Amino acid sequence: MTNDTTMTKPGGVNRRTLIKSAGALGAALAAGTLDAPAVWGQGKKTIRFLNTETSIDSIRALKVACAEYEKQFGTQIIVDSVPLDDAFTKVTTSLRGGQPYDIATFAFVGHVLLLQAEGHLMPLTELTNKHQWGPKILFPVKNEVYWYPYDYNLAWIYYRKDLYEKHGLSVPKSYAEMLKNTQTLTADGRYGSLFPIGSNGATNWLAPGFMWAEGVKLFDDKWNVTLDSADMAPRVARYLDFFAELYKTMPSGASQASFGEVLSNFSSDKVAHAAYAGRMIEALERNAPKLATQYGMTPYMDSTGKAKAVNHGYDGWVVLKTPNSDESMKFMAWFTENQYINFLHTAPLHFQPPRLDVYDDPRWRAHPLIDKHKEAVQTMRGFITDKSVILTSIDTEGPYPDLRPGKVFEGFVIPEMLQNKILKNMSSAECVKTAADRMRKLTA
Amino acid sequence: MSSKTTIYGFLFVGLAVTLALIVAPAVYAVSLSFYQMDSFIGAPKWAGLANYAAVLQAPEFWRALVNGAIYALGSIVFQVVLGIAFALVLNETFPGRNLVRGLSILPYLLPTVVVILTFKWMVDGGIGIVTKAVEAMGLPPINWFESPGAAMASTILVSVWMWTPFVTTCFLAALQTVPQSLYEAARVDGTTAVQRFFHITLPMLKPILTVVVLLRAIWMFNKFDVIWLLTRGGPVGATENLAVLSYRRAFNLFDIGGGAAIATISFALLSVAVLVYFRVFPLEDD
């Protein structure tokens, strides 16, 4: 037995040699790392882009665009992709950590407003002024636009045209007609409808459309909560009474349903009505091609059959005030002029263009899915050009863009109002009062 | 290098890592509770104890506290009872025991997000496999999340499913340290299996039981991922505990100070509970 740790087998490696080699390798790596950002040393600019469109097609399109930009202008763009929910935290922590993102994607005007209020955003008015835009999408602050939208994300109602024909139903124009149709189609192992009612973003997006059609406004011009006012309370009550009846035509689990469940239930022929944006058609094309020719689209309707509405979600890019702002602005100008349509094509029917020129652009219309579903695309366009269609959402309610409706959105006030009515059997009047009180607390 | 230097060296590294990664963030989080902040980028305004006053006056806080206690208690009771039962079974000799022991730890090894998504799809009201099985049996649909009680029960169910294997493993290890001679002597005295369990097994498991219950209580009271992924605290706040409330307040409702105040109160409550627990159930018998 020996304590000699340096003893080696012929041709082998002893522990000390291994440690020395590892140390040398570590030192070499460290030295290499110090040398790594050669791009900085050579004066090459690098922009950091935070992307929240995490489909493989969108990421690929961004990377191709960035590579093209680097080839043309020598500026490197590093794309980080994160889920949408993480974007604001990533951006704010990057700002606080001293290495901010230069460009970021957001889908919530409250986040844009917060960053703008703290002076972290570059105005993009110069870029947005080059085009005509649809309504309620630019969210200007003191006449300056601070983001560049690429998607309206409107939510409307999908129904099954084949089932309508089979049962002799007509496209619903009022709550009563909608109820009649969903009740009729709750049969043969299929449910009449699925509209989420849980405390989640899907409910905030897909459930309030009927309420907007009923003419409900959350705030007056001075930001007073109007939900329980003499004018609004009966409208909200009608919406709640209707929704409670509609709920009876849904499969169990509506309180947990989110985006995925809505898509899968409609595309697997389990429900006859559901709300969504163009992603539904893409899902049908991918998973249920037979149904991709059987769907119909209609806006949310009111109780009288006179008004209609869609609920918008929206997505866009911001440019942050960083040492690279000038370069980021140059990239954004190039990207929005040269790559905007390529990016929209990565979710051709879901990314509904807020820029009106795109609808007539042959490059955009050339996409096979857009061409195949041109009737649907025309309907989608109508939702933003037809002035009789109410276009709003919880977080954009009120006289001007502000964080207050954002708090109502993030506080899940409307979903909880629905839950109080449907799951706790509270009276509609009580639900409205509870929701209005909560809104006042959140926005105080 | 002397062994003393080595010991101090390792101690220093451990201490530095603890300070940097645990103590400093905790102190920072507590300090945030004294400020009013919309987000991490805004200039913080000194608020003193205003955040604490606001939080303690909010009915949501008390609801979340009660929900957290119900969830923790319900989860621990089932996890411990089932964990001991499974451990007793796995401690017996039977063919394929090693395989069953290995499989029994599986739910604990699965990432939380996988367990939750699997559960949600299984009980999906339209296409879930459980829903279909219930339908096939001619039974009415089960509303897993549609009422406050059902949502809490579902959340506890998933937690029991995920973490009972941990408890089982702990008790199984402890069971193997119980001297067989005790059981043999008891058998000679004519005791029944139930008597042997309550008079030999359970007392011998007491030290590990104390630690397991404490650990599970801390983890369950602070549980965020399961509740967030499963119910987001709904319906109507029925499954919202302090961890979820703190997160929602800080990151959804733009109230970093309020969220930090809730987290600080939760930390204080747990510290007191742990102290009381050790007073009542000391780890070492006198």
- Pairwise CA distance, residues A196 & A204, whole Å: 9
Do A186 and A200 lie in a common domain? Answer: yes
- The answer to whether residue B97 neighbours chain A at the CB level (below 8 Å) is no
Distance from CA of A306 to the nearest CA of B (A): 32
Strand residues in chain B grouped as ranges (E) = 35-36, 45-46
- Pairwise CA distance, residues B97 & A185, whole Å: 52
The rounded percent of chain B whose pLDDT value lies above 90 is 57
Domain ranges of chain B: 54-280
pLDDT at B285: 53
C-alpha Rg value of chain A to the nearest Å: 26
The answer to whether the CB atoms of B126 and A255 lie below 8 A apart is no
CA B4 to chain centre: 39
**What mean pLDDT is reported for chain B?**
90
Contact between residue A222 and residue A233 where contact means Cβ atoms under 8 Å apart: no
Helix (H, G, I), strand (E, B) or coil at A252: coil
Do A179 and A86 lie in a common domain? Answer: no
Classify residue A36: in a domain, yes or no: no
The answer to whether the CB atoms of A200 and B253 lie below 8 A apart is no
Contacts for A326-333: CB closer than 8 Å, 24+ residues apart: A327/A45, A327/A47, A327/A75, A327/A102, A328/A47, A328/A102, A328/A103, A328/A122, A329/A122, A330/A73, A330/A75, A331/A47, A331/A69, A331/A75, A331/A77, A331/A103, A332/A103, A332/A124, A332/A127, A332/A148, A333/A127
Do A166 and A263 lie in a common domain? Answer: yes
Classify residue A7: in a domain, yes or no: no
pLDDT at A20: 57
pLDDT at A253: 79
Residues in chain A whose beta carbon is closer than 8 A to a beta carbon of chain B? 88-89, 92-93, 95-96, 110, 114-115, 117-118, 120, 191, 194, 198-200, 250-257, 261, 264-265, 268, 270-271, 403, 406-407, 410-412, 415-416, 419-420, 423-424, 442
pLDDT at A21: 55
Indicate the range of A13-17, A274-278, B28-32, B91-95 predicted with least confidence: A13-17
Domain extent, residue A358, equals 42-151+315-381
Nearest-CA residue of chain B relative to A190? B126
Classify residue A15: in a domain, yes or no: no
- The answer to whether residue B28 neighbours chain A at the CB level (below 8 Å) is no
**Chain B partners within 8 Å of A191 (Cβ):** 126
**Chain B partners within 8 Å of A416 (Cβ):** 234-237
Distance from CA of B166 to the nearest CA of A (A): 28
Residue range B133-189, pLDDT digits in tens: 888 888 887 888 888 888 999 999 999 999 999 999 999 999 988 998 999 999 999
CA B225 to chain centre: 11
Nearest-CA residue of chain A relative to B37? A114
- Pairwise CA distance, residues A340 & A344, whole Å: 6
- Pairwise CA distance, residues B208 & B31, whole Å: 36
Please state the domain count of chain A.
2
Indicate the range of A302-311, B61-70, B275-284 predicted with least confidence: B275-284
Classify residue A23: in a domain, yes or no: no
Do A305 and A410 lie in a common domain? Answer: yes
Residue range B178-233, pLDDT digits in tens: 998 999 999 999 999 899 999 999 999 888 888 888 888 888 998 999 999 998 89
- The answer to whether residue B120 neighbours chain A at the CB level (below 8 Å) is yes
Classify residue A12: in a domain, yes or no: no
Classify residue A9: in a domain, yes or no: no
**Chain B partners within 8 Å of A255 (Cβ):** 145-146, 151, 234-235
Classify residue A387: in a domain, yes or no: no
- pLDDT tens string, chain A, 444 residues long: the values are 334 434 444 445 555 555 555 555 555 544 544 444 444 445 678 999 999 999 999 999 999 999 999 999 999 999 999 988 889 989 998 998 889 999 999 998 989 998 999 899 999 999 999 999 999 999 999 999 999 999 999 999 999 999 999 999 999 999 999 999 999 999 988 999 999 998 888 999 999 999 999 999 999 999 999 999 999 999 999 999 999 999 999 988 788 888 989 999 999 999 999 999 999 999 999 999 999 999 999 999 999 999 999 999 899 999 999 999 999 999 999 999 999 999 999 999 999 999 999 999 999 999 999 999 999 999 999 999 999 999 999 999 999 999 899 999 988 999 999 999 999 899 999 999 999 999 999 998
Do A308 and A322 lie in a common domain? Answer: no
CATH of domain B54-280: 1.10.3720.10
CATH number, domain containing residue A103: 3.40.190.10
Do A138 and A278 lie in a common domain? Answer: no
- The answer to whether residue B248 neighbours chain A at the CB level (below 8 Å) is yes
Distance from CA of A115 to the nearest CA of B (A): 8
DSSP, residue by residue, B36-64: E-SSTTSPPEE-TTHHHHHHHH-HHHHHH
pLDDT at A340: 96
Token look-up 């001297």 returns B179
pLDDT at A40: 45
Do A166 and A294 lie in a common domain? Answer: yes
The answer to whether the CB atoms of B42 and A114 lie below 8 A apart is yes
Do A113 and A199 lie in a common domain? Answer: no
**Chain B partners within 8 Å of A200 (Cβ):** 232, 234
- Pairwise CA distance, residues A397 & A409, whole Å: 10
Strand residues in A54-170 grouped as ranges (E) = 76-81, 103-106, 148-151, 156-160
Distance from CA of A289 to the nearest CA of B (A): 19
pLDDT at B253: 85
Tokens standing for B286?
């006198």
Classify residue A25: in a domain, yes or no: no
Does residue B286 register a pLDDT over 60? no
Question: What pTM does this model have?
Answer: 0.82
Does residue B1 register a pLDDT over 80? no
pLDDT at A14: 59
pLDDT at A33: 45
Tokens standing for B245?
């409330």
Do A200 and A253 lie in a common domain? Answer: yes
